[in-house]
A = this chain, B = another copy of it.
Amino acid sequence: MSVTFCGLELVHPIVNGSGTFDAIAARQAFGPGFDDVFPFSAYVSKTITAAPRAGNPPPRLFEVPAGLINSIGLPNKGLDGWLASDLPQLATLPVPLITNVMANSAQEILPLVDALDDRPEVAAIELNVSCPNVRTGLDIGSDAGELGRFVSAVRPRTTKPLIVKLTPNAADVPGIARAAEAAGADAVSLLNTLRAFAPAPGGAGAAWLGGETGGMSGPALRAVALAQVRAVAACVAIPIVGMGGVASGRDARAFLDAGATLVAVGTESFRDALAGARIRDELAELSANTGLVFS
């Protein structure tokens, strides 16, 4: 089941989706022994921004049929806080660390990338480009030209593998993936949550979520994710981290078959902290039965 991804040797293809697993809190809840059963072959941090963010006011969650809408608002300690207090703890995880970062301009992202490039504990950098452009209100990642410029600015600043996490809220996701590849991305990951709205029970159009709109994840969007991964795989040569509603080894297999090299598990971990390990085992069994191999 081992797999090479952007030069990283990973023992299996299952990682976590950014922002869906707090390895530090997991040690608190399950004890330090959690590291011994760590379900992922690499750990993706939640999104880190330059300045600290408190996140959105509650409520932050709304359950939908076979899915979840969240409006967490990317709470994090900011780059300095993360480097000082989280990184040392994450560096002791038994797997490589991929750090996810976001900013709403190339200018603002560069210091983040520079700082991470300096840290040997960081194995790879993931760019979250589902960040609204202040001028247009649309995600930076929803326009191929804009995304290309963004990635081109980042690329020269680090020799670490650079993964671009695409936004699904776009007309032409494969075209955008191509732009990321052309600008020097080593991999793309997708999909991020779909923009969604949860009505407050009282009605009259009020939003349930403190952050007004949110993003939908979970099995409800798996088929949409598979379509996008498949379309992107047909257009780019760089590896793909596929995700969206993965809940079983069969689902993971479908993403690999659609062209992904790694598969990320997000919401399913909320139902079971060891879902990633179960999915890994189911995948191994499926692959053994069908004789399929990992690329």
- Are A227 and B257 in contact (CB-based, < 8 A)? no
A222 to B196, CA, bound (A): 8
With a 10 A CB-CB cut-off, give which of A62, A222, A253, A292 has the most chain B CB atoms. A222
A194 proximal to B (CB < 8 A): yes
Closest to A220 in B: B220
A139 to B259, CA, bound (A): 24
Per-position 1/0 for A247-259, Cβ under 8 A of B: 0000001100111
Closest to A218 in B: B65
Of A22-30, A82-90, A164-172, the one with at least 4 CB within 8 A of chain B = A164-172
A258 to B205, CA, bound (A): 5
| In the complex, chain A residues 100-146 whose Cβ is within 8 Å of any chain B Cβ | 138-139, 142-143
- Are B171 and A219 in contact (CB-based, < 8 A)? no
A245 neighbours in B (Cβ, 8 Å): 65
Number of A positions contacting B (CB below 8 A)? 45
A203 proximal to B (CB < 8 A): yes
- Are B69 and A223 in contact (CB-based, < 8 A)? yes
- Are A203 and B142 in contact (CB-based, < 8 A)? no
Closest to A137 in B: B172
- Are A199 and B138 in contact (CB-based, < 8 A)? no
Per-position 1/0 for A53-73, Cβ under 8 A of B: 000000000101111010000
The contact of A205 among B172, B194, B257, by CB within 8 Å, is B257
- Are A220 and B65 in contact (CB-based, < 8 A)? yes
A188 proximal to B (CB < 8 A): no
- Are B142 and A172 in contact (CB-based, < 8 A)? yes
A157 to chain B, nearest CB (A): 27
